[in-house]
């Protein structure tokens, strides 16, 4: 489990250390970690540190001081280190003195360094880069290592409202901040440096592949098909029979339990997945432990009636796609439920449900909807945000955009329904399904060298689900 903390939480944790340790110790700890990561990057990219060129972009305050101290350490290891002071009058005095003593040079422009350190703005920064800093950053062609947060990225929301640094690596001082998972395209790889902080309750968390693999439902000697979870799937229509196949197929791939399908695509579903028990109406469906409803479902009166019947049960329900559109005009049908309910909107569906787009603070937007409606909410995106009715949040970065294809959401909802039926709690089931879904997309789309091999559709994504499950399970067995 990875934990993420707000700047306020980090500053509160720093306070007792600043009061008890000699002046500058925390900054030098951070600088040492930053210099170590930069040195590793130089080794990886150029084969060494000695004689390599490093430029530090220095803003005012402690973040600039971190960069200057790191520059001094790199200079002592033989690198040629320069610094561009964006606000010379407010440069950190002790850091600048140490930088100059080590032989670092203050210059007007970066030149052509091997690596750039972004120490312009730290975790107190908000808003876009100022024009002079933006112009400087735009001209850089070298890889950038960001000190704590890429400048121009909001540390709490991960929002970017203008010019910002795109780092290849971000060095997190003491704790990961929300932006480190909410804004991965700007943060790049995140390296955590321990500076001695002790923080208790995180702002939110994310599951690692090991976490997912360790709880993924696997049959035991005592299990049968019913005890492993029976999920009912209401998906597809005459117009969109493919949604039924994708959603049902994902439910089949997710666990070793049982899948029941209800809908007009029963013949096609059974032809593709003969292990599925199919029916054309709810009365003939049989017993299930959870429902997933909505992909390709339609929004007509028959669909509405089926949705209300399912929501009127005391079973967990995953509500997706067309069912969300119906729900937007009947929110009380979930607000009054006591059984677990999961809504899985993308940004447009979120706006239909609430009347407004998620906004830059996606975590708060999702928390608010989950709390006000008494449900769990999964807001899709590169960084998927999941919140339950009690305010707990898990965030999952997809690692890329391979899953951005038609039908991908149908696969996800099938995975989620099966995991909920297996007995996992709603938040854990949702985070696990999301993680495996994005891993399956990456497995299907990327070659062994890590480069995008080819764009994919939902079919290859679904086919890669078993391999994705094996991958997460391999670290947990």
- What is d(CA 172, CA 192) in angstroms, rounded to the nearest whole number? 5
123 among annotated binding-site residues? yes
| CB environment 129-156: b (16+ within 10 A), e (fewer) | bbeebbebbeebebbbbbbbbbbbbbbb
| 409 labelled ligand-binding | yes
227 annotated as a binding-site residue: no
First to last CA, the chain: 17
Residue 65 annotated as binding? Answer: yes
66 is in an annotated binding site: yes
Is 229 annotated in some ligand binding site? no
Is residue 267 within 8 Å of 327, Cβ to Cβ?
no
Q: Is 64 annotated as a binding residue?
A: yes
322 is in an annotated binding site: no
CA pair distance 443, 436, nearest whole angstrom: 10
Tokens 């920064």 map to which residue?
Answer: 125
Asked if residues 236 and 264 have their Cβ atoms less than 8 Å apart, the reply is: yes
What is the rounded distance in angstroms from the CA atom of residue 207 to the CA atom of residue 200? 17
Residues with Cβ within 8 Å of 336's Cβ and at least 6 positions away in sequence, in order, are none
CA 141 and chain centroid, separation: 27
Neighbours of 199 (CB within 10 A): 16
Q: Is 105 annotated as a binding residue?
A: no
Q: Is 122 annotated as belonging to a binding site?
A: yes
Residue 346 counted as an annotated binding residue = yes
| Spatial separation of the C-alpha atoms in residues 442 and 452, rounded to whole Å | 9
Is 62 annotated in a binding site? The answer is: yes
| 126 is annotated as contributing to ligand binding | yes
128 is in an annotated binding site: yes
As a whole number of angstroms, the distance between CA 463 and CA 249 comes to 9
Distance in angstroms (rounded) separating the CA atoms of residues 395 and 413? 17
3-state secondary structure of 170: strand
Please check whether residue 456 is in contact with residue 407, taking contact to mean a CB–CB distance below 8 angstroms.
no
**198 in a known ligand binding site:** no
Number of C-beta neighbours around residue 416 at 10 A: 31
Question: Is 125 part of any known ligand binding site?
Answer: yes
- CA–CA distance, 204 with 387 (Å, rounded to integer): 10
Q: What are the binding residues for AMP?
A: 380-384, 409
Q: What are the binding residues?
A: 62-66, 118, 122-128, 148, 151, 243, 296, 346, 380-384, 409-410
Q: What are the binding residues for K(+)?
A: 63, 118, 151
Q: What are the binding residues for (6S)-NADPHX?
A: 62-66, 122-128, 148, 243, 296, 346, 410
């Amino acid at each position: 489990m990875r934990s993420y903390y707000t700047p306020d939480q980090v500053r509160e944790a720093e306070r007792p250390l600043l009061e008890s340790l000699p002046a500058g110790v925390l900054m030098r700890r951070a600088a040492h970690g930053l210099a170590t990561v930069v040195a590793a990057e130089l080794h990886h990219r150029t084969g060494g540190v000695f004689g390599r060129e490093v430029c530090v972009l220095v803003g005012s305050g402690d973040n600039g001081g971190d960069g200057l101290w790191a520059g001094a350490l790199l200079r002592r290891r033989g690198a040629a280190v320069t610094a561009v002071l964006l606000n010379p009058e407010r440069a950190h005095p002790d850091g600048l003195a140490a930088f100059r003593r080590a032989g670092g040079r203050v210059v007007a422009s970066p030149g052509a360094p091997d690596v750039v350190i972004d120490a312009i703005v730290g975790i107190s920064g908000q808003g876009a880069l100022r024009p002079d800093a933006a112009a400087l950053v735009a001209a850089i062609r070298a890889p950038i290592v960001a000190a704590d947060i890429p400048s121009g990225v909001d540390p709490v929301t991960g929002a970017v409202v203008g010019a910002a640094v795109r780092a290849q690596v971000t060095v997190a001082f003491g704790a990961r901040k929300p932006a480190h998972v909410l804004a991965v395209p700007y943060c790049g790889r995140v390296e955590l440096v321990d500076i001695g902080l002790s923080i208790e309750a995180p702002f939110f968390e994310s599951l690692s592949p090991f976490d997912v693999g360790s709880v993924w439902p696997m049959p035991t000697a005592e299990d049968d098909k019913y005890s492993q979870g029976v999920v009912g799937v209401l998906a597809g229509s005459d117009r969109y029979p493919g949604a039924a196949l994708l959603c049902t197929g994902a439910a089949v791939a997710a666990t070793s339990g049982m899948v029941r399908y209800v809908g007009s695509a029963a013949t096609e579903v059974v032809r593709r997945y003969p292990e599925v028990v199919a029916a054309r109406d709810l009365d003939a469906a049989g017993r299930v432990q959870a429902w997933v409803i909505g992909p390709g479902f339609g929004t007509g009166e028959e669909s509405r009636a089926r949705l209300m019947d399912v929501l009127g049960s005391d079973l967990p329900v995953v509500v997706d796609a067309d069912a969300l559109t119906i729900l937007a005009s009947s929110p009380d049908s979930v607000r009054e439920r006591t059984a677990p309910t999961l809504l899985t909107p993308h940004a447009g569906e979120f706006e239909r449900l609430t009347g407004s787009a998620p906004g830059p603070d996606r975590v708060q937007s999702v928390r608010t909807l989950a709390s006000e409606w008494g449900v769990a909410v999964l807001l899709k995106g590169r960084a998927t945000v999941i919140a339950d009715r009690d305010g707990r949040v898990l965030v999952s970065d997809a690692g890329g955009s391979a899953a951005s294809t038609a039908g991908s959401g149908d696969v996800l909802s099938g995975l989620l329904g099966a995991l909920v039926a297996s007995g996992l709690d709603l938040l854990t089931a949702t985070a696990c399904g999301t993680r495996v879904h994005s891993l399956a997309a990456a497995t299907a789309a990327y070659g062994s060298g890590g480069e995008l091999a080819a764009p994919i559709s939902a079919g290859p994504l679904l086919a890669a689900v078993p391999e994705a499950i094996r991958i997460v399970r391999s670290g947990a067995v």
